[in-house]
Chain A
Amino acid sequence: MISLIPILPLLAAGVTALMKRGQRAPAATLVIAAQAASTVLSLLAFLQTLGAEAVHGDVARTYFNFPWLSVGGETLSLGLLLDPLGAGMVLMVSFVSLLIFIYSVGYMKEDANFTRFFCFLSLFSAAMLGVVLSNSLLLTFICWELVGLASYLLIGFWFHKPEAAAAAKKAFLTTRIGDMGFLLGMLWLYSASGTLLFYDHGNGCLEQAALTAIATKTACIGLAVSNCIALLIFCGAAGKSGQFPLHVWLPDAMEGPTPVSALIHAATMVAAGVYLVARMFPIFSATGNVSVALTTVAWVGAFTALFAALIAVAQTDIKRILAYSTVSQLGFMMLALGVGSVTAAMVHLIAHAFFKALLFLGAGSVIHGVHEEQDIRNMGGLRKYMPVTFITYAIGMMALCGVPFFFSGFWSKDEILHVAHQWPVSQLPFFMAAAAAFLTAFYMTRQMCYVFGGSYRGHAHPHESPAVMTIPLGILAGAAVLMSIPATPAWPWFHGYHTGEDIALDFARLIEHDFLTIAGLSIVIVTAGIGIGCLLYRRIGIESQGERASRPFGQETSQALSHTRAGRPCPLDHSNAAPSVDPLQKLLPGLYSALANRLYVDELYNATVVRALGLLGCLAAWIDRWIFSGIVRLVGALSLLASALSDLFDRFGINLGFDSLCGGLRNGGRVFSSWESGRVQGYLRFLSVGAVLLLIILGWLLT
């Protein structure tokens, strides 16, 4: 039955691919119906895992495997798996997908390639559900690549926009670099354990026998094989989940249509890296809970969380702010995994999926409402024009910031800070995460002030979005709040669900000393972030209104955007009047400009990797043209020379000799032939001379 969950959207994608461009309603209906069916099946699957009894202290897993191909006695199998880790995720993915598909009907209404869009969406959903349900690292990889392909197609959906085309390529290439690590890790795992199935009645690579085998072997660099494999697989996860230094593609991916950003680049695909690490956690922790692999994951996660939150502070594109926020939140999840808590990571993953999808769809609604404007400096006052969007966006924002107690983000982030605090290796990641949490509250407040506060600064006529878009917003807002119930430490339901332990409701956990400290701290952090944000940006909409109104709409935004996108330093309206300067820019101009330029990582890559590749390409082409082909031409020229020489030799050496020989013969012949002239007198003369000579010789001999 679970095999139908990814197959239904796949079939829908296949059928939609064959539809004509004009068949919009049937395409959307089919895709949404298939997705709805998948969601129902996911829910059933989820309920099934709820009812399942734990066996031998481990969670119940149902899986089935089937052979795909055999290579010399070794069989590569694929399989599907249903366990609590995957079931929660699969429900989230199919549910969020369904909502976003519905939302897309409204958002993409005007697009000429509506049918194709739904085909790609459905393909994505199928591949993503495949990643989640896979019981084989090979199948995971296959679906993983297809997810990447769907992401490529959807980011580049509006390929006529140069930025979209470039962003699609960048996303595909960057993640592909990580995927090479993934592939190598997979090959290593396969050689070391002989299987790529996760669970296979004791023979899977995540089961005890294989884990012991790879944890006890040591590779050439002194690391346990399990850690090497884990680190290589983490490369793939880091690429997909936008972890530093492979994060550069994710903000650019915002060039895709907003539903795509919400679905793929916020809720589901980017979380696949986190899910992969969670799924492979037994390998990451095969040498204990502070293995080299996990420590790396923790540091990368903590660094990414802080780094991306910093950059988000100085962005002006509504979607880019959210994109950096996503990178940062994924960093939080990786941190949770790195310090050893799969549950904390997964709870945050699912909570984040809901509220970040909500924020993106809200942003889409805003963009839609102000006629494709994305620069927050040209918004403002939208609270009045778009009340539903405002309220739902505010809920999403509070969930992301971690406003206590009724928003899921508070509990899930708190749990991550909690586990990071208990990490025996170092306290630094905890402080980095706390700082990132502060910055999150700050930049979200900044964004809220810019977008909804003050009065409108643009020139369009803002309007609320249609119901087909606002209803999914409402549902997601509800989910963002409701998710706080299973996430509270009073009822660590997820923990029990993931580990198979029985969990009772116990409010006493809320007042444990350790918990109180962290919770208190995070309340302080959130309050400080929102407070300082309000302080700085409270008046943003009001004072700049007069200045804005006098300028032609859109001109400076497009300039600013083209500056940013061309990778050149973005002057951020230096040419414009002072009121458009960000308050933070006034306070810390140097830092602000560095942050606005995304700390120059893209420039660094352009200057090094991209340029080196281009130069190498030209060099290789030059070598091919002038050296290898040159040698061929040289050989050709030499053989021409040789033939010319032999021609000369023929003509003047051999021919001359031959000719003179012939000439000699001919002359000789002429002489001889003149002798044979046919005249009797001549013959008689020869005869008489001969007779005389004979007589002389005879006389000489006889004497």
Chain B
Amino acid sequence: MILTATFLSAFAGAALILLLPERLAQLAKWIALLAALVGLAFAKTAFLGYDNSPAAPHFQFLTKIPWVPRLGISFSTGADGISVVMLLLTGIIAVAGILFSWNVTHRPRAFFAFYLIIIGGVYGVFQSFDLFLLFVFYEIVIIPKYFLIAAWGSTNREYGAMKLTMYSVAGSALVLLAMIATYAVSGAHSFDLFTLADPSKAHFSPAFQAWTFPVMFTGFAVLAGLWPLHTWAPTGHVAAPTAVSMLLAGVVMKLGSYSALRVAMTLFPQGLDQWRIAIAGLATAGIVFGALVALAQKDLKFTVGYSSIAHMGFVLLGLMTLNLPGLGGSVLQMFSHGIIGGLLFAVVGRMIYDRTHTRDIAELGKMDLAKALPFAALTFTVASVASMGLPGFSGFIAEFTILKGSWNSLPLFLIPAGIGVVITVAFTLRALQRTFYPSGGPSAHAHPFDPITLPEKLGALMLMAATLFVGLFPSALLDPILRSFQSPLMHRLIQEAGK
């Protein structure tokens, strides 16, 4: 019930907001904040309540209610260590996103209702253990994104929204195709992941896996920014309003990588085995390519958008290592990038763009932002340092474990990944210095900007504290994550595919 409460609170919040009369429209953000806080509280309870002792079961908080028994569809939710970490991330990002949307005055009811629907869908995906249910939640996320970007977005918003939606739908189509094939071939008459992943109940021939795996994996990985299917991400991020950029980078991209791991990789370890080098190659290309493109951007938000591609490349590379450090690091990187990416977009979108109405790095450099908005400068500096993977922040330990995993199983990919890390430093410093600490002194006229508001400060501090905490005490997340890879569902991944 703890788990279901996470998305129920989000959906309930959305419903409540839609019922608000016009004159109380400004209450919407308070209801949204309350709903997100309740969701976070439940996610945190699930995270802390997850029993990590060796004797405890791998899957906890299980709920299973038959839904369409004739088709073997059930409402099956639960959590392992990976789920609880992702649920916690969702809770944090949801609250932070609302804090950074405190200034939304244009049709606030619709905005926050759509926002909460996305959050609910994301919560749902991270706890579904029924393939059909997972897909339903996955689809719930897509449609509100379109409206949020098209109606509340900025630059080129219709194009961005449409591109993002079309990519998502195309990915979903691949997933749906693979899902139906899986259901038909398995002969188990069930969408239950535990059943499908059990070789004694559902057998998938290597030939079947060889084509189903890439179809399903690609379908999910589109959302994770798999190179070269990534171009929706920067455009979508840039067009989206701040809170939606934060959601996209923070959790929606993780839906892709999480589902790829949870469904595609778990069900088809033999198919994975055939394709992993190719996918690792694409992941590494994403790291290097994303970093290089970020180096050439003039728009600060595009820089951050492409940095997401590079960071998600690490997630996918980690998944392809198929050993404990790599897989664990990959999930940790999902969490880490969720926080850091969210923070970067919050600074760029809310703290800077909403005040300066430009994202052009050269323009921003003339505004003496370090003096005008010192808190924004501080936050962006911390986020940049974290994004470069410096020790003390979550990114370091995530990248370290991923590289450690690659060392063991994909050593050839280490060199380009290492080069990607160096270029990441280059573009991060470039963006940071040119935007906030430009040389040559401030321009003649100082821009008076509204000071950073309390909700912004709270949101930023929350995200900074999260990345710092994980950087200092990575075991808090890594222990439950790593434990989950030994569960009956996942252990085949390392044993069968890793060989």
User: Contact partner of A191 among B231, B289, B407, B474, CB < 8 A?
Assistant: B407
Whether A180 lies near B390 (C-beta < 8 A) is no
Closest A residue to B381 by CB, please name it: A153
Shortest distance in angstroms between A519's beta carbon and chain B's nearest beta carbon?
45
State in angstroms the CA–CA spacing of A190 and B392 once bound together.
20
Instruction: Indicate whether A624 sits within 8 Å of B475 (C-beta atoms), given known contacts A161-B439, A172-B425, A176-B422.
Output: no
Asked if A70 CB lies within 8 Å of chain B CBs, one says yes
User: Contact partner of B426 among A163, A166, A183, A613, CB < 8 A?
Assistant: A613
State in angstroms the CA–CA spacing of A72 and B407 once bound together.
15
Instruction: Indicate whether A620 sits within 8 Å of B418 (C-beta atoms), given known contacts A169-B430, A188-B407, A613-B426.
Output: no
Closest B residue to A622 by CB, please name it: B296
Whether A184 lies near B418 (C-beta < 8 A) is yes
Whether A613 lies near B425 (C-beta < 8 A) is no
Stretch at the interface among B120-128, B198-206, B254-262, B396-404: B396-404
Write out the residue numbers on chain B whose beta carbons fall within 8 Å of the beta carbon of A190: 404
State in angstroms the CA–CA spacing of A621 and B303 once bound together.
11
Instruction: Indicate whether A71 sits within 8 Å of B401 (C-beta atoms), given known contacts A149-B385, A180-B421.
Output: yes
Whether A141 lies near B440 (C-beta < 8 A) is no
Write out the residue numbers on chain A whose beta carbons fall within 8 Å of the beta carbon of B437: 156, 159, 165
State in angstroms the CA–CA spacing of A307 and B492 once bound together.
57
Asked if B293 CB lies within 8 Å of chain A CBs, one says yes
Closest A residue to B440 by CB, please name it: A162
User: Contact partner of A617 among B292, B391, B397, B407, CB < 8 A?
Assistant: B292
Whether A187 lies near B403 (C-beta < 8 A) is yes
Whether B440 lies near A149 (C-beta < 8 A) is no
Whether A173 lies near B425 (C-beta < 8 A) is yes
State in angstroms the CA–CA spacing of A191 and B228 once bound together.
32
Write out the residue numbers on chain A whose beta carbons fall within 8 Å of the beta carbon of B297: 621
Write out the residue numbers on chain A whose beta carbons fall within 8 Å of the beta carbon of B396: 142, 145
Write out the residue numbers on chain A whose beta carbons fall within 8 Å of the beta carbon of B421: 176, 180
Q: Write out, one digit per residue, whether chain A residues 235-254 have a CB within 8 A of any chain B CB (1) or not (0).
A: 00000000000000000000
Asked if A201 CB lies within 8 Å of chain B CBs, one says no
State in angstroms the CA–CA spacing of A142 and B166 once bound together.
43
Whether A69 lies near B325 (C-beta < 8 A) is no
Q: Write out, one digit per residue, whether chain A residues 146-185 have a CB within 8 A of any chain B CB (1) or not (0).
A: 1001000000100111111110110011001100100110
Whether B429 lies near A146 (C-beta < 8 A) is no
Whether A632 lies near B163 (C-beta < 8 A) is yes
Whether A71 lies near B478 (C-beta < 8 A) is yes
User: Contact partner of A173 among B422, B439, B482, CB < 8 A?
Assistant: B422
Taking CB atoms and an 8 Å cut-off, the chain B residues in 413-432 that contact chain A are: 414, 418-419, 421-423, 425-427, 429-430
State in angstroms the CA–CA spacing of A84 and B357 once bound together.
59
Write out the residue numbers on chain A whose beta carbons fall within 8 Å of the beta carbon of B294: 617
Taking CB atoms and an 8 Å cut-off, the chain B residues in 312-331 that contact chain A are: 323-325, 328
State in angstroms the CA–CA spacing of A72 and B421 once bound together.
25
Whether A166 lies near B439 (C-beta < 8 A) is yes
Shortest distance in angstroms between A611's beta carbon and chain B's nearest beta carbon?
13
Shortest distance in angstroms between A241's beta carbon and chain B's nearest beta carbon?
19
State in angstroms the CA–CA spacing of A624 and B235 once bound together.
11
Shortest distance in angstroms between A69's beta carbon and chain B's nearest beta carbon?
4
Asked if A618 CB lies within 8 Å of chain B CBs, one says yes
Whether B231 lies near A624 (C-beta < 8 A) is yes
Whether B439 lies near A159 (C-beta < 8 A) is yes
Write out the residue numbers on chain B whose beta carbons fall within 8 Å of the beta carbon of A164: 439
Taking CB atoms and an 8 Å cut-off, the chain A residues in 169-228 that contact chain B are: 169, 172-173, 176-177, 180, 183-184, 187-188, 190-191
Closest A residue to B295 by CB, please name it: A617
Whether B408 lies near A620 (C-beta < 8 A) is no
State in angstroms the CA–CA spacing of A628 and B234 once bound together.
12
State in angstroms the CA–CA spacing of A694 and B422 once bound together.
101
Asked if A616 CB lies within 8 Å of chain B CBs, one says yes
Q: Write out, one digit per residue, whether chain A residues 90-125 have a CB within 8 A of any chain B CB (1) or not (0).
A: 000000000000000000000000000000000000
Chain B residues bordering chain A, tally (CB within 8 A): 55
Whether B296 lies near A71 (C-beta < 8 A) is no
Asked if A682 CB lies within 8 Å of chain B CBs, one says no
User: Contact partner of A620 among B296, B390, B400, B478, CB < 8 A?
Assistant: B296
Closest A residue to B230 by CB, please name it: A628
State in angstroms the CA–CA spacing of A593 and B421 once bound together.
37
Shortest distance in angstroms between A173's beta carbon and chain B's nearest beta carbon?
6
Asked if A614 CB lies within 8 Å of chain B CBs, one says yes
Whether A620 lies near B231 (C-beta < 8 A) is no
Asked if A629 CB lies within 8 Å of chain B CBs, one says yes
Write out the residue numbers on chain A whose beta carbons fall within 8 Å of the beta carbon of B485: 72
Whether B418 lies near A176 (C-beta < 8 A) is no
Asked if B103 CB lies within 8 Å of chain A CBs, one says no
Write out the residue numbers on chain A whose beta carbons fall within 8 Å of the beta carbon of B440: 160, 162
Asked if B433 CB lies within 8 Å of chain A CBs, one says yes
Interface of A is mostly: helix
Shortest distance in angstroms between A14's beta carbon and chain B's nearest beta carbon?
12
Tell me which of B166, B292, B482 has the highest count of chain A C-beta atoms within 10 A of its own C-beta. Answer: B292
Shortest distance in angstroms between B498's beta carbon and chain A's nearest beta carbon?
12
State in angstroms the CA–CA spacing of A191 and B485 once bound together.
21
Asked if B441 CB lies within 8 Å of chain A CBs, one says yes
Whether B293 lies near A632 (C-beta < 8 A) is no
User: Contact partner of A180 among B292, B397, B418, B433, CB < 8 A?
Assistant: B418
Closest A residue to B483 by CB, please name it: A72
Closest A residue to B298 by CB, please name it: A621
State in angstroms the CA–CA spacing of A280 and B324 once bound together.
28
Shortest distance in angstroms between A19's beta carbon and chain B's nearest beta carbon?
14
Instruction: Indicate whether A162 sits within 8 Å of B403 (C-beta atoms), given known contacts A173-B422, A180-B418, A628-B228.
Output: no
Q: Write out, one digit per residue, whether chain B residues 243-268 have a CB within 8 A of any chain A CB (1) or not (0).
A: 00000000000000000000000000
Asked if B363 CB lies within 8 Å of chain A CBs, one says no
Write out the residue numbers on chain B whose beta carbons fall within 8 Å of the beta carbon of A672: none
Asked if A700 CB lies within 8 Å of chain B CBs, one says no
Whether B293 lies near A184 (C-beta < 8 A) is no
Q: Write out, one digit per residue, whether chain B residues 43-86 have a CB within 8 A of any chain A CB (1) or not (0).
A: 00000000000000000000000000000000000000000000
Instruction: Indicate whether A159 sits within 8 Å of B433 (C-beta atoms), given known contacts A70-B475, A72-B482, A187-B404.
Output: yes
Q: Write out, one digit per residue, whether chain A residues 609-639 have a CB within 8 A of any chain B CB (1) or not (0).
A: 0000110111111001000110010001000
Whether B328 lies near A71 (C-beta < 8 A) is yes
Write out the residue numbers on chain B whose beta carbons fall within 8 Å of the beta carbon of A188: 407
Tell me which of B296, B390, B422, B441 has the highest count of chain A C-beta atoms within 10 A of its own C-beta. Answer: B296
Write out the residue numbers on chain A whose beta carbons fall within 8 Å of the beta carbon of B407: 184, 187-188, 191
Asked if B450 CB lies within 8 Å of chain A CBs, one says no
Whether A173 lies near B429 (C-beta < 8 A) is yes
State in angstroms the CA–CA spacing of A617 and B419 once bound together.
13
State in angstroms the CA–CA spacing of A184 and B411 once bound together.
10
Asked if B496 CB lies within 8 Å of chain A CBs, one says no
State in angstroms the CA–CA spacing of A164 and B407 once bound together.
37
User: Contact partner of B296 among A72, A172, A173, A618, CB < 8 A?
Assistant: A618
Shortest distance in angstroms between A231's beta carbon and chain B's nearest beta carbon?
15
Q: Write out, one digit per residue, whether chain B residues 296-312 have a CB within 8 A of any chain A CB (1) or not (0).
A: 11000000000000000
Whether B430 lies near A145 (C-beta < 8 A) is no
User: Contact partner of A184 among B234, B392, B414, B479, CB < 8 A?
Assistant: B414
Whether B293 lies near A621 (C-beta < 8 A) is yes
Closest B residue to A175 by CB, please name it: B425
User: Contact partner of B231 among A156, A172, A628, CB < 8 A?
Assistant: A628
Tell me which of B408, B421, B439 has the highest count of chain A C-beta atoms within 10 A of its own C-beta. Answer: B439
Closest 5 pairs between A and B when the two form their complex, measured CB to CB: A72-B324, A162-B439, A617-B295, A617-B296, A142-B391
User: Can you give 17 A-B contacts (C-beta < 8 A)?
Assistant: A71-B401, A146-B391, A159-B433, A162-B439, A165-B433, A165-B439, A169-B426, A184-B414, A188-B407, A191-B408, A617-B292, A618-B296, A620-B289, A620-B292, A621-B292, A629-B231, A636-B166
- B interface residues with partner A (beta carbon < 8 Å): 163, 166, 228, 230-232, 234-235, 289, 292-297, 323-325, 328, 385, 390-392, 396-397, 400-401, 403-404, 407-408, 414, 418-419, 421-423, 425-427, 429-430, 433, 437-442, 474-475, 478-479, 482, 485
Given contacts A161-B439, A188-B407, A613-B292, 13 further A-B contacts (CB under 8 A): A69-B479, A70-B479, A146-B391, A169-B429, A169-B433, A187-B403, A190-B404, A613-B423, A617-B292, A617-B293, A618-B296, A624-B289, A628-B230
